[in-house]
Structure 1
Amino acid sequence: MSGRGARHKAYRRGRSAERLAALALMLKGYRIVGRRYRTKLGEIDLIARRGNMIAIVEVKARARLEQAMDSVNVLTQRRIEAAAEQWLARQPDHATLSLRFDLVAILPWRWPVHIPAVFTL
């Protein structure tokens, strides 16, 4: 497969993983308030809200849960934090919101695994 074809396949797989993660979160009572929020500093896959709690969600499609967790390294965390700070600053009720960084792992033939507070600021 050419580089272009591989990138397109990875993009489709990522979009599909994000849709499945959003569905799993909605079934747990979250409202999805943002998808693929992009800034110059980074991107947030999903932004979910339940009450005054905002979950900044990184979605990883991997073969094993350990691989998904390991892929959220320090550099990834900093990128997500920077984007989250920009998003939060634009919210009119930002002073009343609490922020949490979650992971949803999309694993083969399993329901998505939601890991709340996978890292902290």
Structure 2
Amino acid sequence: MTAYALAHLRPQAKPHEEVYEYMERIQATLDPFGGLFVVHGAPVEVREGEWPGALVIIRFPSIEQAREWYDSPAYQDILRLRADHIPGDLVLVDGVGPDHDSAAMAARMRAMDANGA
């Protein structure tokens, strides 16, 4: 099942030179794991709450490949180039399949609540 790496980054006004290097090198770390940028710093239109910063979404074929990418020596080697200069949060998450049904999910959750789970 498709998985995603989501990063909420809060960049400074002018990127540090190491951030440019990180951007130049990240795709090579993604390629062996099938990682593709879906969103990469496009303007965010906030409709609810607050969202200071930028959004990056990278799609992977599976959560295992997302984990392997993040833990890979190639990515760990460049991570500090961004993390030292741009504070942020990064999460890995499974996506849902094309047959996902939010009403059925609600029914399962209700049943669990009713059973005290």
Structure-1-length-normalised TM-score: 0.30
Structure-2-length-normalised TM-score: 0.30
Q: Looking at secondary structure, tell me which structure has more strand per residue.
A: 1
- The structure whose RCO (Cα within 8 Å, separation 6+) is larger is 2
